[in-house]
């Protein structure tokens, strides 16, 4: 049987989790968190957060 631990090891699960974290970046910025706080909260590195910010649409 395919359990939760095996599911979490799949590329699809990991990529989806990463994408969800990146989608949270604009919301956390809007709440007033800085890049370092966002990186720590989402368990990302600072360069990943900065890249997500650069790729944000201008209307956000």
What are 15-52's pLDDT values in tens digits? 999 999 999 999 999 999 999 999 999 999 999 999 99
Residue 60 in any domain: the answer is: no
Q: What is the dihedral of CA 20, 10, 51, 29, to 10 degrees?
A: 20
Count structural domains, the chain. 1
**What is the pLDDT at residue 1?**
66
**What is the pLDDT at residue 59?**
56
The domain of 46 spans 4-54
Confidence (pTM): 0.79
Residues 6, 51, 34, 19, CA torsion sign: negative
Say which range, 1-10, 25-34, 49-58, has the weakest mean pLDDT.
1-10
Sequence-distant (≥ 6) Cβ neighbours of residue 8 within 8 angstroms: 14
The tokens for 42 are: 């989402």
């Amino acid at each position: 049987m395919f359990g939760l631990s095996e599911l979490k090891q799949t590329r699809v699960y990991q990529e989806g989790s990463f994408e969800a974290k990146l989608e949270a970046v604009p919301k956390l910025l809007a709440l007033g968190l800085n890049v370092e706080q966002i990186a720590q909260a989402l368990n990302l590195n600072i360069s990943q957060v900065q890249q997500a910010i650069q790729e944000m649409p201008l209307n956000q």
